[in-house]
Amino acid sequence: MEKQPGKISKILVAIDFSAYSRDTLAYAVETADLTQANMVLINIINQKQIDAMEKAINAEYSNRFDLAKFLSEEMARRKLKLKTLIKGIPAMDDLPVKIRIGHGIPHVEILEAVKRENADFLVFGPKGWTDLKGFLFGSVAEKLFRHSPVPVMSVRS
């Protein structure tokens, strides 16, 4: 079956657990309900966080950082956090939702997920945990706006 132009059938929702996450998810749910679209929730463990953990642990306990263990535990923690966020939005009970947790450079991983999941709409918050470096060199949201192959929506509170 060929996809109709402009039809939203799968929404990728990038959740970063910032103050905007609940509103972002609620708006995506409303959009999915109106369009009868499936939803994929994605959260990315930032490579900067992984590198910082590795540096901190190895500084304290020489070469003890276990990447596989860290990722496994962090992915499980974030999956639980996403499930808790979902439970707080009653309209989600009737929608098909997949949860994906990834790791790497957030905008790169989100754009790859758009392709991998065959999403045709991307929803995210206006900003997350941005620091001065992010301000100077471009935020994740800005990079998603510039490079997304599908329409995007940034939800403000």
- 132 in a domain, yes or no? yes
Question: Which CATH number do you get for residue 105?
Answer: 3.40.50.620
- 65 in a domain, yes or no? no
- 39 in a domain, yes or no? yes
- 122 in a domain, yes or no? yes
pTM of the model as a whole: 0.87
Which domain, by its residues, includes 105?
Answer: 10-46+74-154
Q: d(Cα 10, Cα 123) in Å, to the nearest integer?
A: 11
Is the distance from CB of 114 to CB of 58 less than 8 angstroms?
A: no
Residue 112 exposure: Cα atoms within 13 Å on the Cβ side: 12
**pLDDT at position 26, please?**
92
**pLDDT at position 134, please?**
44
- 147 in a domain, yes or no? yes
Would you give per-residue pLDDT tens digits along the chain (157 residues)?
456 667 899 999 999 998 889 999 999 999 999 999 999 999 999 999 999 999 998 888 888 889 999 999 999 999 999 999 998 888 887 788 999 999 999 999 999 999 999 999 999 987 654 444 444 345 888 899 999 999 999 887 6
**pLDDT at position 96, please?**
81
- 41 in a domain, yes or no? yes
**pLDDT at position 60, please?**
85
Is the distance from CB of 125 to CB of 155 less than 8 angstroms?
A: yes
Greatest Cα-to-Cα distance within the chain, rounded to the nearest angstrom: 57
- 66 in a domain, yes or no? no
Please tell me the total count of domains within the chain.
1
- 69 in a domain, yes or no? no
